[in-house]
Amino acid sequence: MVDGGKNLRVSVLGGRGMLGSELCAQLRALRCDASAFDLPECDITRSGHVAAALAGADAVVNCAAYTNVDRAEDEPEAARAVNATAVGELGRQAAARGLYVLHISTDFVFDGAGDRPYDEACAPAPLCVYGMTKLEGERALAGAGCRHAIVRVQWSYGFNGVNFPVKLVERAAAGGELRVVDDQVGAPTWTRDIARALTELLLRRAEGLYHFANAGYASRYETAVFIAGRLGLSNPVIPCRTADFPVKARRPLNSRFDTRKIRALLCAPIRPWQDALGEFLGEYENKRRPGPAR
């Protein structure tokens, strides 16, 4: 890990969410002064709230987003306000203050055609409102004039939010078979690993566009089989197709990332998704087990 975080003042927008909370914890472990800003007291669509969050900061990380992919189809303006308009305003305020911005984006900026991994030079072609507004946010930040980096992540999971592994375990507890799509391929990626990479970029003040995901690729079905095996779930895991689950928003079937660009900057190799997910599941099970009787 790059040194030099002592006394660095970082404002983390969306700082109590799944990724933001991990990032704050890691920054504080490096003796950074990391402040978490989140709803309801900090609404990034309100410029005054953004200004208050940036006051006294040396840098800002934006983990805040409108992430309900299907609801965004019915609420495009609400999604755009958070994912695009607010990001441009953040960038302009940061530029006026001379602040560095680290912004989180998504694999949903791509259409998922073919099976070639996406690198940072690939042309975006989002399929849904969520992806469109996240891409608009990337462009708004790039045009705001501040020093910045944008990190696209995918298939993230962690302890403070709704995500695929947790939902699968909850479905398994209800009994019955688990039908999981086998035609969506990417890399399950732990927010702890994302936060480590973000911390390095932040301390280096790296600029540009980066893709990050845990190493290797798997379908959603293969991920579910791994989870079931690791936790000893007895539920049958049945493969199916995305078309079997009609939803409002179209998803990219291919979310493979080429991570060579960010790997060249990181101090340690990106670990395989199986190692990260296995460690997460161990911690998750420990948290779920009831404590000893008193």
Dist CA 85 CA 246 (whole Å):
30
- Percent of the chain at pLDDT exceeding 90: 90
Cβ-contact 269, 150 below 8 angstroms: no
pLDDT of residue 293: 43
Active site residue 130: yes
**What are φ and ψ of residue 58, in 5° steps?**
-95, -25
9-162+187-216+257-271 placed in CATH 3.40.50.720 = yes
Q: Please write the tens of the pLDDT for every residue from 204-254.
A: 999 999 999 999 999 999 999 999 999 999 999 999 999 998 899 999 999
Distance (Å, rounded) from C-alpha 241 to C-alpha 256? 18
* Helix or strand run (H / E) with residue 4: none
Q: Is the peptide bond before 40 cis (omega within 30 degrees of 0)?
A: yes
Helices 273-288 + 164-173 axis angle, to 10: 50
Please report which confidence band the pLDDT of residue 2 belongs to, taking 50, 70 and 90 as the band edges.
very low
pLDDT for 294: 38
Q: Which of 66, 100, 118, 130 is catalytic?
A: 130
247-276 residue pLDDT tens: 999 999 999 999 999 999 999 999 999 999
Distance CA 67, CA 249 (A): 12
Q: Which pLDDT value is given to residue 20?
A: 95
Q: Any bridge partners for residue 272, and if so which?
A: 215
How much is the pLDDT for 233?
Answer: 93
What burial letters (b/e) apply to 12-47, b meaning 16+ CB within 10 Å?
Answer: bbbbbbbbbbbbbebbeebebbbbbbbeeebbbeee
Q: What is the mean pLDDT of the chain?
A: 93
In the chain, what are the domain boundaries? 9-162+187-216+257-271
Residue pLDDT, tens place only, 178-196? 999 999 999 999 999 999 9
